[in-house]
Amino acid sequence: MPTAKSSSDEYTRLSKAWRATESTTEEDPEFAIELGKIGYTTLSEGLPSTVTVEGESRAVVWEESMADCEVYEDTVITGALDDKTVVTGEICVYPDNMYYFVDCNDEDPAEYNGVKSISPALKNETADKTEYSGGWGISSGEGSYGDPKDKSVDGNKYTSGWYLNGSTPLEYTFELDAGKYSVVTGSYEFWTGNAARNMKLTVKTADGTELPTDEPTDEPTDEPTDEPTDEPTEEPASDRITGIEIGGAVYSEGDELPEEGSIDKVMVSCEDPQLLDGCIMYTAVYRDGALCALSADAISADMFENGEAAISPSKPVQLTGSGITAAVFIWNSSGSPALAGFKL
């Protein structure tokens, strides 16, 4: 983990002098201030606009976007302060609308506390629990797991955990309201020589019905800077983004956009709004192919009336000048399109 570099007047003077004369676009790491762990964020919150440097909050512009950050991972990002000082740090990205986050057998609560700070809907009050109570916890008993002790490394969600006891499955139970959810798990091999062992994940409802599971997929990125080309399959003809409202006028695909205005509403049609509950709607504006405005908004089924909804972006999505393209994408929590994209 990077640590904060101590500074001095001489270091600051030399750093500024170097940046004033150096013409290359690659910064020498010697002159970058390493901030260590910046913190945690979600796909819709995005990267922080400020960082703390030597106890002072400073505005920062990042070289990377959320599209460069892998969900569930620590990503090193590089930015510049208002005086052009280069900073680097680690940011960890998690999905929106997380209801449970279990950091198995990790006695260091840092990861859990970080996730809890960005997940207001989180239901579990501790990082892990070895018995089922209060709506969640291990429900398969003590005989289903063991403690790898010194092989488990606390403070790392990938190297802390339980080992499994042979043919007895380790089972967690989580109480949830009826709806559509994504379940993501991770496993780790504590012993050498067993790399060929396979893990099986099974998800069951309260009555014991086993639910179908998908093959592992890449987690979603945040901003659709490269416009997605994947289209959902077997989508009912009535389930679609029907148009956008700009200045009181509704524009459908094929219409010509005005050179100025703001996307005030997005019209969505869906026979079963529960299919979109918890999805994220990205309303974006591109200029000559580059993203210049974005609003990421959670969708809930209660936004719909008789299968129709007019959803207002929470952030301004302005259209100015020529070479403008407007697009709307609705993605589910697995990073796949829930509806076909809308482009003008």
Give which of 173, 182, 180, 178 is closest to 204, Cα–Cα: 173
240-343 belongs to CATH 2.60.40.10: yes
pLDDT on residue 149: 77
**Is the Cβ–Cβ distance between 290 and 258 less than 8 Å?**
no
> 0.75 exceeded by the pTM?
no
Give which of 112, 170, 178, 159 is closest to 137, Cα–Cα: 170
Residues 261-318 have pLDDT tens digits of 899 999 999 999 998 998 888 888 877 766 677 888 889 999 999 999 999 998 888 8
Domain boundaries, the chain: 9-94, 95-222, 240-343
pLDDT on residue 219: 43
- Higher-pLDDT residue of 316 and 219 is 316
Tokens at 337, concatenated: 């399109």
Which H helix or E strand runs over 12?
helix 9-21
When pLDDT is cut at 50, 70 and 90, the band that residue 232 belongs to is: very low
In terms of DSSP bridges, do strands 56-62 and 163-164 run parallel, antiparallel, or are they unpaired? unpaired
In terms of DSSP bridges, do strands 308-311 and 50-53 run parallel, antiparallel, or are they unpaired? unpaired
The residues near 275 (Cβ < 8 Å, ≥ 6 apart) are 180, 239, 338
Q: How far apart are CA 86 and CA 27, in angstroms?
A: 8
Res. 152: pLDDT tops 70:
yes
C-alpha dihedral (172, 173, 174, 178), degrees to nearest 10: 130
pLDDT on residue 40: 94
- Higher-pLDDT residue of 196 and 59 is 59
pLDDT on residue 92: 93
Q: How far apart are CA 228 and CA 343, in angstroms?
A: 11
